[in-house]
Structure 1
Amino acid sequence: MADDDHVKDIAIYKAALGDKWASVSKLFKDNPSLMTKRITQVGEMPLHIAVGTNSSHSFVDELVKDIVARGENHMLFKGNKYGNNPLHFAAMVGNMHATKLLLKHNPDKTQTRVRNKDGNMPLQLAAWHGNKETLEFLLKETPDLLPDEEGVGPYSGVAGGDLITRTIMAGFYDVALDIIEKHPDIVFLKDSSKKSPKTALEILAQKPESFASGRRLGLWGSFIYSLIPVKNDEGTTDHSKV
């Protein structure tokens, strides 16, 4: 979020921060383009600001309603200078109200897979910022890539590595187990750490306090290994037994 010196329209900015829709409703009615105007130096619109407060819910409701009424649903997902759209903001601050509202207007869920300039989807940001409820909701709403789609899905590559390592580092072990059960290979994926990229197994090995036995990996690790697919003697996929 910006400070006053980097805001292009202080009145709208403060209204979005303070959940004061009434103070700008006439302004928006007279000049609807202001609803989607970039009002900070980093390209944030009023919706970015309001969503980012995680408290200006009435402002968000009215703003979204009016933007949609103008047939400009696509403007709900415009990114700022860093590629963060309002759904990224909602994931970062754990704004469930905005998350559900935005996805209501994106029924094909495509926006859940949009990456910012750091390569993060809303999923990874929810995990990184420790917003468990938002993370669990986005996991249900974020589809993987279909076989005929190009690109890297949210549960593969560096994106998958970030998702699982950040979930574990946040202490959301139940969520991590759910992810691993559905995507066993994710435990081998390295995250995007520049100094020393790590896998989920490496993160777990550094956190013996996370297991009831107090030993490295322990029962948690055994369960993870039991989910990892391996090739048996017949060449078919099976699960290792630990």
Structure 2
Amino acid sequence: MTTNISPTSIVVEVLRDDNYDDWSACMKSYMLAHDLWDLIEPADHQEGDQEVDSQPIDHREVDSEPIDHREGDSKAWRKKNAAALHAIQVSCSPHILSTIRSIIPAKDAWDTLANSQQQHSPSHEVQSVESDLSESSQGSGAVSNEMNSTLQALYRYAHRGDWDATKDYLNQYPDAIKAKIEPYGETALHVAARAGNLKVVEELVNLMSKEDLEIKDDEGNTALSSAATVGITKMAECLVRKNQNLVTFVNELKRSPLDEACLSNNKDMARYLYNVTPVEFLRQDNGIHGSNFLQCAIGAQMLDIAYDFLHRYPNMTTTMDDADKWNALFALSKMPEIFPSGNRPGLWQQWIYSCIRLPPIDTPDQICCIYMPDQRLSGSENITLRVSSKLHGFAINLLTFLGIKKIYDLKKMHIYSNKIIRCMCEHISKLDYEKLLEANIHGAFQRAVKEGIVEFIIELIKVCPHLMTTGDDNIRNLFMSSIAYRHEKVFSLLYGLEASIATIVSLKDSSENTLLHLAAKLSPPSQLARISSAALQMQRERQWYKVSFLHLTFFFKKK
């Protein structure tokens, strides 16, 4: 790693590619103080180079000097040169030092550094691009791919958010605004958006046409997709105002900016894009885009917009995506953490959880309405808005500190997950058996059993009772799997099936194991890993053995 802070007292920071002006000023002051600067800029040249250089040299006078006097001057020069060269060398970063390591005269080393640093300066980069762009503009007027090496300057300006340098660059070379820069084929707008530079993005959008905003990088992403990944909502608003069609672009992976916002867990960005994305886009192509979005929203635990969309279009429950051939029901079956059965809060957390009262969710059309402050409010109204916002922020911070907000959000998430699974099951109840097979309801059910999602299992059994007796790949039914995966809450459902207990307890899986065999086996590693020590793991196994084994023995005797 390159050292930034100088290990000496000569300069504040060692020489890098971006601090030559400051470094050279410090070095000059140091050399002047130590009487070394005349090696870099001789005193006679400082006073008047032309007059000194124009005077003829009398070789006879030089030859007539005593030999010992010239040897003394040479030794003194070598000593001063070594001191100046050493000062320069120890004040350079390692990769820059390698360029002057073999240079002996201090002046030559100084000049080499000055020339190399000027080549990295913004003015030199603009000058180097000028010739390439002017040659290209004389032809078709479009930016050619051969200029990508020189367009790296524009890449750096946009990446670090330097709008002044970007503007100067584009004023001289307007065609560069839509150039695709290596290595990822991004425009300056892509680069600024991905770096989160809102100011540069806003200014670039003002200079670009609608068609320019639709340029995709090598991965098929527009600048809006880059902004969605970063999560700056104002950036997305700026882009969408200029070109509404950006929200319907998909990349090579068939993901839209809305999907990217969900995958990046940018909730505010996802809510905004959900509001501005046309419904027709999410419903077209048999709902593939809508299915992708719904799965992404569920996976990111953005259940408010997932429920809103599912309530409008319940058929998206079983609509398969284009890549993995999954649907929203299967995505929900892999999310035990969003259901009450997947959480184990402490006693005091359970008490707070029970005390929290949330209003019922009856109006899905109003779930995702984004409140945008009206900038035309009067002064007093604006002051009231700011004060109330500050008080609200203080209250949120206090609740967060006390841990109450986390429990509040958890209960709210549980309410939404319950609404979602019921909405899905209502749609499933209207399907015939062939549609159920196509939607892979059985696979989603078995996954929920493996994860121990009791709420999911109960609601699905209500509309598809046959799932209770169907087996998985090992021919294990619901209760055999609940024992194998050690989900006592799922196993407890057995007590409500008095008429079927005798049949269930005598079934065997593909390895000829009954419920008793499975109860005697060791818990899966994923379950054991949840318990911290081996002693507690053993205690847990004994407890499970006592409860399950004794109850199963009772069932056999009853049979």
Q: TM-score range by the shorter chain?
A: 0.7 to 0.9
Return closer, same or farther for 1:184/1:11 CA change in 2, 3 Å cut-off.
same
Question: CA offsets, 1:130-164, max 9 Å, x none?
Answer: 11111111111011228xxxxx7469533222211
Aligned residue in 1 for 2:430: 230
**Which residue does 2:166 correspond to in 1?**
24
Matched with 2:265 is 130
1: CA distance, partners of 2:424 / 2:150: 51
Partner of residue 91 from structure 1, selected from 203, 213, 228: 228
Counterpart among 163, 169, 174 of residue 293 in structure 2: 163
Q: Provide the residue aligned with 2:280 in structure 1.
A: 145
TM-score when scaled to structure 1? 0.78
Q: Is the 8 A contact 1:8 1:41 kept in 2?
A: no
1:52 aligns with 2:189: no
Q: What amino acid is aligned across from residue 142 of structure 1 in structure 2?
A: T
- What is the CA distance between 1:57 and its match in structure 2? 1.1
1:110 to 245, 251, 261: 245
Do the aligned partners of residues 206 and 199 (structure 1) sit closer, same or farther apart at CA in structure 2, a change above 3 Å counting? Answer: same
Check 1:229–1:66 CA distance in 2 against 1; reply closer, same or farther (3 A cut).
farther
- Extract unaligned runs of 5+ from structure 2: 1-147, 344-416, 432-461, 464-559
Could you tell me how far apart the structure 2 residues matched to 1:170 and 1:189 are? 19
Q: Which residue of 2 aligns with 1:236?
A: none
Could you tell me whether the CA contact under 8 Å between 2:180 and 2:186 is conserved in 1? Answer: yes
TM-score by length of 2: 0.35
Label 1:96 to 1:8 Cα distance change in 2 as closer, same or farther (>3 A). Answer: farther
SS of residue matched to 1:25: helix
Q: Which has the higher helix share?
A: 2
**Change over 3 Å in CA distance of 1:155–1:125 after alignment to 2:** farther
Give the direction of change, closer, same or farther, for the CA distance of 1:8–1:168 in structure 2 (3 Å limit): farther
For 1:28 and 1:121, locate their aligned partners in 2 and report how far apart those are by CA, in whole Å: 30
CA distance 1:100–1:155, change in 2 (3 Å): farther
| Matched-pair contact (CA < 8 Å) for 1:77–1:85 | yes
Question: Runs in 1 of length 4+ with deviation above 6 angstroms?
Answer: none
Query: 1:193-208 counterparts in 2 under 5 A?
Result: 193-194=323-324, 197-208=325-336
Which residue matches 2:204?
63
- Partner-residue secondary structure (3-state), 2:340: coil
Secondary structure of the corresponding residue to residue 145 of structure 1: helix
Looking at structure 2, the residues matched to 16 and 141 of structure 1 have their Cα atoms a distance apart, in angstroms, of 27
Is the 8 Å Cα contact of residues 180 and 227 (structure 1) preserved in structure 2? no
Structure 2 residue aligned with 1:185: 315
From the superposition, tell whether residues 86 and 186 of structure 1 become closer, same or farther in structure 2 (CA, over 3 Å).
Answer: same
Which has more radius of gyration?
Answer: 2
Contact residue 92 and residue 129 of structure 1 kept, 8 A: yes
Identity %: 25
SS at match of 1:41: coil
For residues 98 and 229 of structure 1, the distance between their equivalents in structure 2, rounded to whole angstroms, comes to: 43
**What SS does the corresponding residue of 1:119 show, helix, strand or coil?**
coil
Counterpart of 1:81 (choices 211, 218, 223) is 218
Q: Per chain length, whose mean CA-contact separation is higher, i.e. which structure has more relative contact order (CA < 8 Å, sep 6+)?
A: 1
* Letter of the 1:49 counterpart: V
Structure 1 unmatched runs, 5+: 1-5, 147-151, 232-240
- Structural RMSD (CA): 2.9
1:77 CA drift (Å): 1.7
* Per-residue deviation, 1:125: 1.4
User: 8 Å contact 1:184–1:227 — kept in the other structure?
Assistant: yes
**SS in structure 1 opposite 2:240?**
helix
The more displaced of 201-210 and 159-168 is 201-210
